[in-house]
């Protein structure tokens, strides 16, 4: 590993992902703490997402420290700073002095409050012309607020930028932009009046209010002597403003930047603005050698890195490190992928955690097919679908049904059957349906022993006993006596994660359930009051799609199934990658966002920019190149590319990703 030179004042460390920059920075942190050059509480480590703090957390776990340094996101640091200095904010903004403490909103709760303000507009059809579900309208308005704040734009300037970008197209879009801006202004006013601080307000108050306050300046400069900011290319321009301020305040600063990054651009990241930090640092170090990769993978990375477009790709020789498989139909592609995973795990003894399956989209059909086949081969798997509403996850539907049964709400036999099938280990769909229809009564579920003997025999005694235990637990824990988060925690601990039940050692459901529990806890902490009303409010909260799956759990030894964006933004490297559905356009096409535009809402974009089709095409080419580079730099030993002639929807596939690969490695075409 390349060591860092002694930092005199400020050092800018840059290079491609996988070149050891974060490892070197974490070892620098170890040295600073182990040699007692600084007290742990005087070190601040900033990352754009909690997942990217792993190298520093691993170092801290090996040190016996009385206090841990702050390894945190900028919004997390803002929350720490705003608590003691809240009176400063109240006075500066002229807020109600009765607001003695702020309430920090998660993304889910921010959508909940924004949804309440949007509702009257929704009812009169203000967004009918863009044909989006309600939760997506709310999400895109919130994205606009967050991206504008990170760029340092006011909501008025944001509105004018979006209208200008639409150009002279004749439609109702301009009216929709103005309506969305009006809702955004009302939302932020409401939040400030009630002391509710979402992501955007946390950043705004830290950078635009606190850093100008002498008391905060004195407190900050007196505490922090070292600053490490990692992945600055994944941070917004307003965060860079805060780092610029820190460079003048903190004695020693280490900034780390990935080349060809900015994968969080749709969330406000500004990689071009991050390079301005390089110009003011006194030292600059470049790491350019990828660590742990085979030479064929390195050669392919170099060929793509030197190619702005597919036409510029320098062909590479055929190599066993890159294998291409083409099938006619979608199910054949999935089966081929599973067989190659089986070959790696069972015959080459590759650990499942060193295998990542990447797809442009993770729809339910793909996940079910992959996970069911891997389960048949006894190969564990786990998937990440960040920001996807959890209401569609079967395990969450099961938990919600059990909550409703405990609240004595009437459920249909079909809903009960689905819940019992997932809750009770060994219960197949046929017997789950039989059991649900047999025990279903308006007044509540019947006990197993009250069923006719013939039915008991068909269900079997072991299943019946497990069902009885679950039924009795629900009867003994009425929802009216406790908030939903406590109900779920007890249900999981005392029943569902015990042997004989569906979540016992179920690694594929761990991350989903963990995120759901976090959302329930945050909701119940924010909304106090009658427990029955709280339960109904939480159920509605989930049904409307506000609870999403952006959380962190420790990855088990399991095959990871994820989108390319998830792999890149969470820096999930592995020995082997499988790229599925390589002909799909989803690898490079930006998801349509009619209410926002992350590239128009970027500090370096001129305010009167009209976004054209040519600009979108150029962006797609750049995005695909960065995506290929990002994935390859996180692949150490082997790449398996899978494509099918006919997609899952029945369309012929000839995406740009296949063009890049066939030009880079012509022999791949021959092996198809």
d(CA 539, CA 13): 47
> What is the predicted pLDDT for the residue at 672?
44
Across the range 300-328, mean pLDDT stands at 80
> What is the predicted pLDDT for the residue at 554?
65
> What is the predicted pLDDT for the residue at 650?
67
Sheet holding 322-327, edge to edge: 322-327, 635-644, 574-579, 355-359, 559-563, 381-383
Q: Where are the alpha helices (DSSP H) in 21-167?
A: 21-34, 54-61, 74-82, 86-93, 107-123, 134-151, 155-166
The answer to whether residue 360 scores a pLDDT higher than 60 is yes
- Tokens linked to 299: 């050669």
Looking at the chain, the whole-number percentage of residues with pLDDT higher than 90 is: 63
Number of domains in the chain: 4
> What is the predicted pLDDT for the residue at 548?
73
Across the range 90-105, mean pLDDT stands at 92
CB atoms within 10 A of CB 34: 12
Across the range 436-447, mean pLDDT stands at 90
473 and 503 belong to one structural domain: yes
Please write the tens of the pLDDT for every residue from 257-291.
Answer: 999 999 999 899 999 999 999 999 999 999 988 88
- Tokens linked to 623: 């995005």
Q: What is the mean pLDDT of the chain?
A: 89
| pTM of the full structure | 0.89
461 and 587 belong to one structural domain: no
> What is the predicted pLDDT for the residue at 483?
82
- Tokens linked to 599: 């590239």
417 and 503 belong to one structural domain: yes
The answer to whether residue 628 scores a pLDDT higher than 60 is yes
526 and 407 belong to one structural domain: yes
d(CA 576, CA 343): 12
Highest mean pLDDT among 240-249, 307-316, 434-443 belongs to 240-249
572 and 657 belong to one structural domain: yes
d(CA 663, CA 117): 51
| DSSP-assigned letter for residue 544 | T
Name the residue with tokens 């749709």.
Answer: 266
In a domain, 315, yes or no: no
DSSP states of 310-324 as a string?
GGGPPP----TTEEE
> What is the predicted pLDDT for the residue at 627?
93
In a domain, 157, yes or no: yes
Start-to-end CA span in the chain (Å): 39
In a domain, 299, yes or no: no
Please write the tens of the pLDDT for every residue from 561-584.
Answer: 999 999 999 999 999 999 999 888
With bands split at pLDDT 50, 70 and 90, how would you rate the model's confidence at 552?
A: low
In a domain, 46, yes or no: yes
Are 113 and 190 contacting, i.e. CB atoms less than 8 angstroms apart? yes
In a domain, 300, yes or no: no
457 and 409 belong to one structural domain: yes
| DSSP-assigned letter for residue 424 | B
Kindly provide the b/e burial profile for residues 222-256, where b requires at least 16 CB atoms within 10 angstroms of the residue's own CB: eebbbbbbbbbbbbbbbbbbbbeebbeebebbbbb
The answer to whether residue 221 scores a pLDDT higher than 70 is yes
Name the residue with tokens 């990002």.
Answer: 630
> What is the predicted pLDDT for the residue at 386?
75
d(CA 493, CA 489): 6
Are 166 and 177 contacting, i.e. CB atoms less than 8 angstroms apart? yes
415 and 527 belong to one structural domain: yes
In a domain, 291, yes or no: no
CB atoms within 10 A of CB 496: 26
d(CA 141, CA 147): 10
478 and 415 belong to one structural domain: yes
d(CA 64, CA 62): 7
Name the residue with tokens 């989209």.
Answer: 361
In a domain, 409, yes or no: yes
Task: Identify the burial level of 159 via C-beta atoms within 10 angstroms of its C-beta, where 0-12 means exposed, 13-18 middle and 19 or more buried.
Answer: buried
Pairing of strands 252-258, 10-15: parallel
Across the range 472-479, mean pLDDT stands at 88
Q: How many CA atoms lie within 13 A of 630 on its CB side?
A: 25
The answer to whether residue 5 scores a pLDDT higher than 80 is yes
With bands split at pLDDT 50, 70 and 90, how would you rate the model's confidence at 401?
A: very high
Pairing of strands 70-72, 322-327: unpaired
639 and 519 belong to one structural domain: no
Rg for the chain, CA atoms, rounded: 27
The answer to whether residue 549 scores a pLDDT higher than 70 is no
Name the residue with tokens 């700073």.
Answer: 81
Name the residue with tokens 């580079």.
Answer: 629
Long-range contacts of 390-395 (CB under 8 A, 24+ apart): 390/512, 390/515, 390/516, 390/519, 390/542, 390/547, 390/548, 390/549, 391/542, 391/543, 391/545, 391/547, 392/364, 393/512, 393/549, 394/418, 394/422, 395/422, 395/502, 395/503, 395/509, 395/512, 395/513
Using the 3D structure, point to which of 516, 543, 570 is the last residue of a domain: 543
Please write the tens of the pLDDT for every residue from 198-216.
Answer: 999 999 999 999 999 999 9
- Tokens linked to 231: 């992945």
Which residues 6+ apart lie within 8 Å of 520 measured at CB?
A: 484, 485, 488, 538
Which residues 6+ apart lie within 8 Å of 404 measured at CB?
A: 411, 539
The answer to whether residue 666 scores a pLDDT higher than 80 is no
Please write the tens of the pLDDT for every residue from 483-541.
Answer: 888 899 999 999 999 999 999 888 777 778 888 888 888 788 777 654 546 778 888 88
> What is the predicted pLDDT for the residue at 533?
67
Helices 237-249, 134-151: inter-axial angle, 10-degree rounding = 30
The answer to whether residue 664 scores a pLDDT higher than 80 is no
533 and 610 belong to one structural domain: no
Residue 271 or residue 304, greater confidence: 271
With bands split at pLDDT 50, 70 and 90, how would you rate the model's confidence at 667?
A: low
Closest to 514 measured CA to CA, from 483, 485, 478, 539: 485
Please write the tens of the pLDDT for every residue from 135-151.
Answer: 899 999 999 999 999 99
- Tokens linked to 140: 């895109």
407 and 342 belong to one structural domain: no
By residue range, what is the domain housing residue 340?
A: 322-387+555-671
Please write the tens of the pLDDT for every residue from 42-74.
Answer: 999 999 999 899 999 999 888 878 888 899 999
With bands split at pLDDT 50, 70 and 90, how would you rate the model's confidence at 321?
A: confident
The answer to whether residue 358 scores a pLDDT higher than 90 is yes
d(CA 363, CA 359): 10
> What is the predicted pLDDT for the residue at 550?
62
Please write the tens of the pLDDT for every residue from 171-182.
Answer: 889 999 999 999
Q: What is the CATH number of the domain that holds 29?
A: 3.40.50.300
105 and 190 belong to one structural domain: yes
Residue 542 or residue 311, greater confidence: 542
Across the range 289-309, mean pLDDT stands at 86
In a domain, 139, yes or no: yes
Q: CA 104 → CA 135, 153, 263, 607, distances in Å? A: 21, 22, 26, 32
Using the 3D structure, point to which of 135, 170, 199 is the last residue of a domain: 199
Please write the tens of the pLDDT for every residue from 244-255.
Answer: 999 999 999 999
Torsion of Cα atoms, 648 then 654 then 657 then 663, to 10°: 150
The answer to whether residue 155 scores a pLDDT higher than 70 is yes
């Amino acid at each position: 590993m390349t060591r860092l030179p002694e930092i005199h004042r400020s050092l800018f460390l840059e290079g491609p992902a996988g070149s050891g920059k974060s490892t070197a920075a974490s070892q620098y942190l170890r040295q600073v703490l182990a040699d007692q050059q600084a007290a742990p509480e005087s070190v601040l480590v900033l990352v754009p997402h909690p997942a990217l703090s792993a190298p520093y957390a691993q170092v801290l776990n090996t040190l016996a420290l009385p206090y841990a340094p702050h390894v945190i996101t900028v919004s997390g640091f803002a929350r720490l700073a705003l608590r003691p200095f809240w009176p400063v904010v109240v006075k500066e903004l002229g807020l109600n002095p009765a607001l003695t403490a702020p309430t920090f909103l998660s993304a889910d709760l921010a959508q909940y409050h924004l949804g309440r303000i949007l509702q009257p507009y929704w009812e009169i059809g203000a967004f009918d012309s863009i044909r989006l579900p309600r939760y997506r309208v709310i999400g895109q308005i919130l994205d606009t607020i967050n991206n504008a704040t990170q760029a340092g734009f006011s909501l008025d300037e944001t509105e004018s930028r979006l209208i200008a970008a639409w150009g002279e197209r004749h439609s109702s879009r301009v009216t929709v932009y103005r309506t969305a801006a009006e809702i955004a202004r009302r939302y932020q006013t409401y939040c400030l009046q009630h002391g509710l601080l979402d992501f955007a307000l946390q950043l705004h108050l830290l950078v635009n209010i606190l850093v100008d306050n002498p008391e905060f300046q004195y407190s900050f400069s007196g505490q922090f002597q070292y600053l490490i900011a990692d992945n600055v290319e994944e941070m917004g321009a307003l965060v860079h403003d805060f780092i610029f301020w820190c460079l003048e305040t903190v004695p020693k600063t280490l900034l780390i930047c990935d080349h060809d990054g900015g994968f969080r651009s749709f969330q406000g990241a500004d990689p071009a603005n991050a390079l301005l930090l390089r110009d003011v640092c006194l030292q600059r170090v470049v790491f350019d050698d990828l660590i742990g990769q085979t030479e064929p993978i390195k050669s392919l990375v170099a060929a793509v890195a030197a190619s702005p477009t597919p036409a510029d790709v320098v062909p590479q020789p055929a190599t066993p490190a890159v294998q291409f498989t083409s099938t006619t139909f979608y199910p054949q592609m999935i089966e081929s992928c599973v067989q190659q995973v089986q070959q790696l795990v069972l015959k080459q003894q590759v650990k499942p955690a060193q295998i990542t399956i990447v797809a442009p989209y993770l729809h339910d059909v793909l996940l079910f097919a992959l996970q069911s086949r891997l389960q048949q081969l006894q190969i564990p798997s786990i998937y990440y679908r960040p920001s996807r509403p959890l209401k569609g996850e079967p395990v969450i539907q099961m938990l919600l049904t059990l909550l409703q049964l405990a609240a004595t709400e009437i459920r249909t036999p079909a809903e009960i059957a689905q819940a019992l099938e997932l809750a009770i280990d060994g219960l197949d769909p046929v017997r789950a349906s039989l059991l649900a229809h047999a025990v279903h009564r308006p007044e509540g579920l019947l006990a197993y022993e009250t069923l006719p003997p013939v039915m008991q025999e068909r269900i079997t005694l072991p299943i019946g006993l497990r069902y009885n235990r679950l039924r009795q637990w629900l009867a003994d824990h009425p929802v009216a006596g406790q908030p939903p988060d406590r109900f779920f925690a007890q249900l999981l601990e005392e029943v569902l994660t015990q042997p004989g039940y569906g979540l016992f050692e179920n690694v594929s459901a761990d991350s989903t359930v963990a995120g759901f529990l976090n959302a329930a806890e945050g909701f119940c902490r924010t909304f106090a009051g009658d427990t029955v009303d709280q339960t109904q409010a939480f159920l509605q909260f989930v049904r409307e799609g506000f609870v999403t799956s952006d959380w962190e759990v420790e990855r088990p030894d399991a095959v990871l199934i994820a989108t390319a964006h998830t792999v890149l933004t969470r820096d999930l490297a592995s020995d082997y990658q499988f790229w599925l559905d390589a002909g799909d356009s989803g690898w490079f096409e930006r998801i349509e966002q009619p209410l926002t535009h992350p590239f128009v809402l970027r500090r370096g974009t001129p305010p009167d920019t009209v976004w054209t089709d040519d600009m979108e095409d150029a962006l797609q080419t750049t995005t695909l190149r960065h995506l290929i580079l990002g994935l390859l730099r996180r692949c150490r030993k082997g790449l398996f590319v899978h494509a099918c002639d006919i997609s899952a929807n029945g369309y012929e596939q000839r995406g740009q990703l296949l063009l890049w690969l066939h030009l880079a490695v012509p022999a791949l075409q021959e092996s198809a």
